[in-house]
Structures are given as structure tokens and as C-alpha cells.
Structure 1
Amino acid sequence: MNWIDRSALRIALSIRNNYKDAASERVLFYALSLLINSAFATFIVLGISLITNQVVSAIITLISFSVIRTISGGLHLKSSLACSITTILFLTMIIHVEYQFTYLGAIINFISMIILLIEAPKGIEHVSRISPKHYPILKILCVCFVLSNFFLQSSLLSSVFLFQALTLTNFTYKIANRLEGRWVREEQTCKNS
């Protein structure tokens, strides 16, 4: 168990011990794990962007990623720490990579829109209260969000949308499952030796 999960579990147990009417330990743990994970990733990304003088880009990236991720779903890694590290790495990279929207950005935006049109929403069945009957509306919102960038012409948003769109693809799910399986086997090997 990593430090995010240990912290979430400790706080969840404390809440359950002091407030009997609180949600179940499992629900509290999951919610707290997401909260700590998000806060940690946000803090680190903002910290790095402060050092590199990219705070505005970081804020735009964090907000746009949060919105598109909420309405489109995507891959959820089994380890909250792996999720934080992956989010930090990719969002920090997105903030610091610049290119012209006119050429590459428009193509990336179009690819993201197609992926979202085909795949979104995905993986939100067990983490959202949104009824499946509203999923077509979420798909339309995703596409509209990406379409708006053809007017804004932000390479930053194009990169955010592509990163999020890729978390919806079967290819990314397969890579994540393979890597997570390898990490589990390595942890078990270390514990056994």
C-alpha cells in the first residue's frame, strides 16, 4: 500500500470511528484516495510550473484536463501513486511542449475529437453517479469541448485533449494492464526474497 492509500485509509478509519453516520469505510477510502491523489498531482504540477514560469499554462491545463476527464472518463490505474506520477509527468510535459496550432495542433485536435466521438464516455460506470442514459450527452459535450479549440487554436488544449483521448483507447488499457501486472509481479518477487 502506497502513502496515498495509507493516508486515505487512516483518515477514513478516523472519520468512521468519530462519526458513526459517515459513509462506509470503503466509500470514504475511495473518495479520500481520489482527493489526496488529485491534490498531490495538482500541487506538484503547479510547483513545477512556478519554477519554470508556466503557471498560467499549468492552470489552463489542470482545469481543462479536469473538465474533459470528468465528462469522458478514461483509464483508472490500480495504484493511486502510479496515477499521480503518470498525471504529473504528462501534464508537466504538456505544459512545456510548444508547437503551432495551425499545423500540428489542428491535426491533434481532430484526432482527439475522433477518439472521443468513438470512445467517450468510458470507464465511468463505477465512479460516477451519471446515468448511462445520459452518456450520449457526455459524448456531445466532449466533442463540443474539443471543437471549441478549433476557434481558440490552443496547442496546449490540443495536447490536453489528446492525452485524455488516449486514456480511452483499448491500446492504452492493454499497455496499462501489462505494466501494472509487471509491477505486481515485481512487488511479489521482492516480498518473497
Structure 2
Amino acid sequence: MAPRCTPGRYRRMGWLASGLLYVAVAVVVVSCSSGGDSEPSPGPVASTGGARSSPATSVSPSPTSPADAAGQRAIAAYVGLWKAMAEASHTSNWQSPDLVRYASGSALQVLSGSLYADHLNGFVSRGEPVLHPQVTSVSPSEAPTTVMLSDCADSTNWLQYRTDGTLVDDEPGGRRLVTSEVRLHEDGSWRVTRFAVEDLGSC
């Protein structure tokens, strides 16, 4: 019989509330008993909306500071990660390659660990969160390698279900403050390295 994890607060995003990622990792590890090996694009992004560019005119892009460029790439990585997480949650695919594309370190461990726990319990999610990330700091300003983001993420329409189609619990989704660190990696990509999710109604 497959090992199972205690659901606890399994409303999507809610299980991360009130703690940094390494704390959530410990919760996942402690609450699961295993009989075998366990494996472990921006805010609402402005869309072109299909606008057609004029072939007779070329417009030069506005100059962008290193801090602005870093902030844009960090937001793209953050939004890309949660979209990848939402997509993976529909099948509890803890091995989704898109998670590795947008996350590293404890952020990757916690999200893949959450999906693995869902896989063991037979949980899947539907929908996705609504995001509104903003840059709160960039450092160092001249050649940024770290960007901090703040988001009021809404998980109202991103909920967990059992295989029989019933909700995992009766706790509503809602708005939560999410603080994230996004870092520049050696390969030139920006990835979310850690984050904290606050209680429901914190923003």
C-alpha cells in the first residue's frame, strides 16, 4: 500500500503559510511516512493582445536601467514558476521540468515536495493563482544579482481535490502576501530561490 501524508492544511498555497521554505520542507518530510524511496512569464504580464506593428515604422525600445531589467526578469521567473506549479499540480507531477527552469534551492525543494505529497495522497489541483508581483528591492543596483518581490497572490480559484472530485477540505482560498527572493544564476537565468507565504487575508 502506498505511503500517505497527513493532509493538514492542504488548501493550495495555504500549506505554505506562516513560514520560510526550509520550515515547510521539514513539515513535508516529518508528516510523510514512506515505504520506499521518495523523490523528492510577469505578474499579470502585460499582453500584446495581438496588436499589429506597422511595417513602415520602427520604434526603438526605451533605455532600461540594469535594476529595471533585473526586476523584469525576476518577475518573469516568479510568474513562470507559479504557472509551472499550477500546471504540474493538475496531475501532481513533482518531476515537472518547468519547476527546475524557474526555481532552485529551497524553493524548488518545497514545491516539488508538495507535489510529491499530493501524488502520494491522490490529490490534484484545478485552476491557478492570480498574481500581482512587485519589485521591492534590487541589489546591487549597478549589476543586480538579487531581486526581492512582494505579491498579493489570490488562490481563490486554485483548489485541491481528491480523485473522486471532492474538495480536500472546506477552507476557502483567498489572498495571501507572498515575499520572494529571485537570484541570477551562473547560466544567466533568474530563478526563485526562496519565498514565504503569509496567512489568509494578509494582503
What's the TM-score bracket when you normalise by the shorter of the two chains?
under 0.3
Q: TM-score, normalised by structure 2?
A: 0.23
Q: TM-score, normalised by structure 1?
A: 0.23
